[in-house]
Amino acid sequence: MNGRLNEILEEIKELEKNVQLEMKRREEELRYKVREGRVIFEREILKIHKRIATSSLFYLLKAPLLTILSTPVIYSMLVPAVLMDMGLWIYQAVCFPIYRISKVRRSNHIVFDRHYLKYLNVIERLNCDYCSYVNGILSYATEVGARTEQYWCPIKHAYGKAQRHSRAHQFTDYGDADAYRSKLEELREKLRNAESE
C-alpha cells in the first residue's frame, strides 16, 4: 500500500480514537454510565427524562395522518430484514468455517440501548428498536460481505464508491496483478485471525 494512503488511514484511526474520547466526555456530561451493556442514568436525570416524555396517545394524536398511514409500509421491511438476518447466520455458519474466516459478531452491529431513555414513550422506543435492528442488520451484512469480498476478490474498484466498507483499504489496487497474486493468501490469513466483530 502506498505511503500516503497509510498516513491517511493512521489519521482516520486517530480521529476514531478522538470520537470515542468525545463520546466518553459526553457520557459524563449527560450523567450516565454504561455497565455490562446496560445504560444507567443518575436518578435526578431519570426524573427529568420522565417529565419530558409525552404520552403515547398524545404522540399519536399530534402525528400527521400520512405518518400514521405510512407506518405499515415502514414496518413491512421487518420481513426482509429478518430473512436477511437468518440468511446471514446460515451463510456464516456454513461458509466461514470452510474458508477459515472469523465470524462477524452480530451483537457488535445490532445494539438495543434506546429503551433506557425514559423521555421516549412506548411508540418512540418501538420505533427506535426498529431502526436499531434494521440498520444493525445492514451494518452486519456489510461486514459479512466485506469479509467475503476480502477472501474472494480483494481488489479495489477502478472508480470510487460513495462509501467503502471497513476492509476495502486493505485490498490490492485496481490493475495491480502482481499484488493481487502475491497478497491474496496474506489477505485471507488476516480473515482467519480477524477480531470477532
Question: 63 vs 31, which has greater pLDDT?
Answer: 63
Band of residue 162 on the pLDDT scale cut at 50, 70, 90: low
Answer whether residue 89 is part of any domain.
yes
Report yes or no on 173 lying in a domain.
yes
Kindly state whether residue 87 falls inside one of the protein's structural domains: yes
> CA nearest 167: which of 152, 184, 180, 154?
154
pLDDT at residue 22, as a whole number: 84
Compute the distance between CA of residue 183 and CA of residue 70 in angstroms, rounded to an integer. Answer: 49
Q: Residue 40 falls within a domain, yes or no? A: no
CA distance 68 to 176: 53
Q: Is the pLDDT of residue 128 over 50?
A: yes
DSSP 8-state class, residue 37: T
* 27 pLDDT above the threshold of 80: no
* Model confidence at 5: pLDDT above 80: no
Among candidate residues 100, 106, 89, the one with its CA nearest the CA of residue 187: 100
Domain count, the chain: 1
Report the C-alpha gap between 8 and 167 in whole angstroms: 15
Provide the whole-model pTM.
0.78
Q: What is the rounded distance in angstroms from the CA atom of residue 67 to the CA atom of residue 89? A: 33
- Whether residue 113 lies inside any domain: the answer is yes
Position 73 confidence tier, pLDDT thresholds 50, 70, 90: very high
Between 158 and 109, the higher pLDDT residue: 109
Q: Where residue 89 falls among pLDDT bands split at 50, 70, 90?
A: very high
Give domain status of residue 90, yes or no: yes
Structural domain boundaries enclosing 168: 55-192
With a pLDDT cut of 90, the percent of the chain lying above it is 39
For residue 31, being part of any structural domain is answered with: no
Between 158 and 110, the higher pLDDT residue = 110
In the prediction, which pLDDT does 197 show?
A: 42
Banded pLDDT at 1 (limits 50, 70, 90): low
What's the number of CA atoms in the CB half-sphere (13 Å) around residue 40?
6
The answer to the question of residue 23 being in a domain is no
**Using CA atoms, how far apart are residues 128 and 122, in angstroms rounded to an integer?**
10
C-alpha distances in Å from residue 143, one per residue of 39, 101, 118, 119, 161: 26, 12, 32, 33, 16
